[in-house]
Structure 1
Amino acid sequence: MQKKDLKLIIVVLVAILGFYLVNLIVNSKKGTSVEVYVNNKLYKAIDINDEVEFKIKGKNGYNIVRVHDKGVEMVEASCPDKVCVHTGFINKPSQSIVCIPNKVTIKIKTDKKDSHEDIISQ
């Protein structure tokens, strides 16, 4: 093994460690609310600590959503592929559930005080 090979291995390992640490920081935030969107419009916002189950009826079908244990899951859907149901239980702000045929999106949001957004001024 040459010196260049060893340097390349070290650089790759440092890059992997960096990506891992960034992922840990991003996923360390706790969700505070669940937002359900239908046709890209806010349908319902629910506190993540609530225990609730509800049905969303639309033109294309229905979805049954359950919020529990500080997370959310799609329990049942009328769509043919059931990708949204197979997504399973989510509880981190970087996760989401999407049902494309029924146009339903579920996101976990964090407290506004914790988020750092870029500001662009002119």
Structure 2
Amino acid sequence: MKKKDIILIMIISFIIIICLGINKYISYKKGEFIEIYVNNKLYKQVSIDSKEEFTIETKNGYNVVKIHDKGVEIAKASCPDKVCVHAGIIHKPNQSIVCIPNKVNIKIITNEKNKPKEDIIVK
């Protein structure tokens, strides 16, 4: 290998290490609450530390939600494709599980103080 090849490999390696560090720093935040929306309305807000299982029933079907191990998952659903069930457990802020046929949206959020403030509000 030539000297230029070694320099190029070192530069690419350095860029990869920096990107991994930035990714680790961004995903370091811990989720504190789980928000569950049904038909775009807040159905329930639960602490991420709780352990519970409940069923959400709508006119479109049902979803069995399990909260455990500082995360949340949909264990069973009546939707035909079961994409929400295959999403698995989520535990990081801004991750979400969506069941479109049953109109259920589950997301993990951080403390209200840490949320970015809106710059512009449009009516």
Q: Distance in 1 between matches of 2:92 and 2:60?
A: 28
User: Post-superposition shift, 1:4?
Assistant: 4.1
* RMSD, matched Cα: 2.0
Q: Distance in 1 between matches of 2:65 and 2:91?
A: 14
User: Post-superposition shift, 1:14?
Assistant: 2.2
Q: Distance in 1 between matches of 2:9 and 2:32?
A: 41
Q: Distance in 2 between matches of 1:118 and 1:3?
A: 49
Q: Specify the SS of the correspondent of 1:30.
A: coil
Query: Which AA in structure 2 matches 1:70?
Result: K
Contact conserved, 1:34 with 1:47, CA < 8 A, in 2? yes
Q: Specify the SS of the correspondent of 1:113.
A: helix
Aligned to 1:34: 34
Compare 94-103 and 61-70 and name the one that shifted more: 94-103
Contact conserved, 1:73 with 1:89, CA < 8 A, in 2? yes
Go from structure 1 to structure 2 and tell me whether the alpha carbon gap of 1:118 and 1:91 turns closer, same or farther (over 3 Å shift).
same
User: Post-superposition shift, 1:119?
Assistant: 5.6
Count of residues paired in the alignment = 120
Q: Specify the SS of the correspondent of 1:28.
A: coil
Q: Specify the SS of the correspondent of 2:76.
A: strand
Aligned to 1:68: 68
User: Post-superposition shift, 1:39?
Assistant: 2.6
Q: TM-score, normalised by structure 1?
A: 0.83
Go from structure 1 to structure 2 and tell me whether the alpha carbon gap of 1:106 and 1:5 turns closer, same or farther (over 3 Å shift).
same
Q: Distance in 1 between matches of 2:40 and 2:4?
A: 51
Q: Specify the SS of the correspondent of 1:80.
A: coil
Q: TM-score, normalised by structure 2?
A: 0.82
Query: Which AA in structure 1 matches 2:92?
Result: K
Deviation digits for residues 4-52 of structure 1 (CA, Å, limit 9, x no counterpart): 4334323322222122111111221111110111233222111111222
Contact conserved, 1:74 with 1:85, CA < 8 A, in 2? yes
Go from structure 1 to structure 2 and tell me whether the alpha carbon gap of 1:30 and 1:43 turns closer, same or farther (over 3 Å shift).
same
User: Post-superposition shift, 1:65?
Assistant: 0.5
Structure 1 unmatched ranges of 5 or more:
none
Segments of 4+ in structure 1 off by > 4 A? none
Aligned to 1:52: 52
